[in-house]
Copies of this chain bind each other. A is one copy, B any other.
Amino acid sequence: MAVKIPHRLYLSEDEMPKKWYNMRADMKNLPDPLLNPATLEPVKTEDLYPVFCEKLAQQEMDEKTRYFEIPEDIQEFYRMFRPSPLIRAYNLEKALGTPARIYYKYEGNNTSGSHKLNSAIAQAYYAKEQGLAGLTTETGAGQWGTALAEACSYYKLPLTVFMVKVSYEQKPFRKTVMQTFGADILASPSNTTNVGRMILEKNPDTTGSLGCAISEAIEKAVSTQGYRYVLGSVLSQVLLHQSIIGLESKLAMEKLDEYPDIIIGCAGGGSNLGGLIAPFMQDKLTGKANPQIIAVEPASCPSFTRGKYAYDFCDTGKVTPLAKMYTLGSSFIPSANHAGGLRYHGMSPILSKLYHDGYMDAVAVEQTKVFDAAIFFAKEETILPAPESAHAIRAAIDEAIKCRETGEAKTILFGLTGTGYFDMTAYGAYLNGTMTDYIPTDEDLQKGFDELPKV
């Protein structure tokens, strides 16, 4: 290697990408269209306007535009925390005794503590531009809600966040952070929406789910004058905004004369994974390169590895369009012992299609093994990872160990999406030995599959 590789490579402000990249423009086989659940006809862009802000609806439906200019105002906000560093995991490599070169793109160095801010600020910007009165959203582990609270505070937009009840209870401090940025927080299911009341009536003790919080947030948005709904993952617009992660990563690696053999990202709804892999997937789609791409999901919520590729609702209340995706069924709720995010029943339709067509692999990992990796990593690299991010760490360590066994000096890139400061209850459970694993049985999963809409 002629190039000296620093521990942390920061691109300069001028090098920050000025366009987002839309993977669909290079996909020969596009994701199946969103369907209106009543008519089963493909959804048109205008159909989304009552729910989404218009520019975002257009981005959602645009399969042709390869690059979208990042508005200057969003770039200006990005400069408060971007470009984010590409870090060479020298200590981790040494501790593993691996010939692999391990890099990670670290998105945790901002107050939201994760990559979610990349899309949050874009969505708040377009909402402000349209003159909206406010926004609603849901949050699971709380990273998205925090990011959107920051973004809405910046644009002085009122925000209501439906927070999955189990997180609301486990993470009171997450709530306070969002409140610090001026957001209203409700535990979901709540009794402030029809769908929330309906779900509570059916199952009063439910710990909530992202799917349920989505239903509530949508209901609140469409029933409040001038409000729209925004979502931090799954959607194609979110993957578009998150492409900045991958674009920066690729540019930084080029400066180091590096190209990843393996790219690893954790996958819940796909926001980080889709963003990280975007320009590398472009290389695969256009035949320029063929890196291995690995999605890592929790064994407790295994959409890719054990889900069905089928049309399904994006929410529990069945108010959204139908999306063709890997899904566990919209009624699926991960076991309450599952810590952190990555708890969504479905998966980005773009990533689902790419996985279905063989462009990427997926693995499911158990929670205690994820925390083994998290703590090992924290001690070597001194960053305390979010449980979500630790899924990618687990897989990266496993790949690096394979390299040790085969002697191959592969270049591994993984996404370190965020920090674990608000996940100390889970860390504590791991440390005191009370953390358990949960793997749904085939029977458990069948219940969700049985409810899939017949399309």
Where the two chains meet, the residues of A that have a C-beta atom closer than 8 Å to any C-beta of B are 6-8, 10, 12-13, 77, 79-81, 91, 109-113, 117, 150, 153-154, 172-173, 176-177, 179-182, 375, 378-379, 381-384, 419, 421-422, 424-425, 427-428, 431
Contacts and interface: CB of A to CB of B under 8 A. Distances in A.
Contacts of A111: 378, 382-384, 419
25 contacts: A6-B13, A6-B79, A7-B13, A8-B79, A8-B80, A80-B91, A80-B381, A80-B382, A109-B109, A111-B378, A111-B382, A111-B384, A150-B382, A173-B173, A173-B424, A176-B427, A176-B428, A176-B431, A177-B424, A179-B428, A180-B375, A180-B384, A180-B431, A181-B378, A421-B422
A257 to B, nearest CB: 17
Contacts of A180: 375, 378, 384, 427, 431
A229 to B, nearest CB: 23
Contacts of A421: 113, 173, 177, 421-422
A79 B7 contact: yes
A226 to B, nearest CB: 22
A384 B176 CA distance: 11
Chain B CB within 10 A, most for which of A8, A12, A172, A425: A8
A402 B282 CA distance: 53
Nearest to A153: B379
Contacts of A179: 428, 431
A428 B79 CA distance: 29
Contacts of A77: 382
Contacts of A81: 382
Contacts of A117: 382
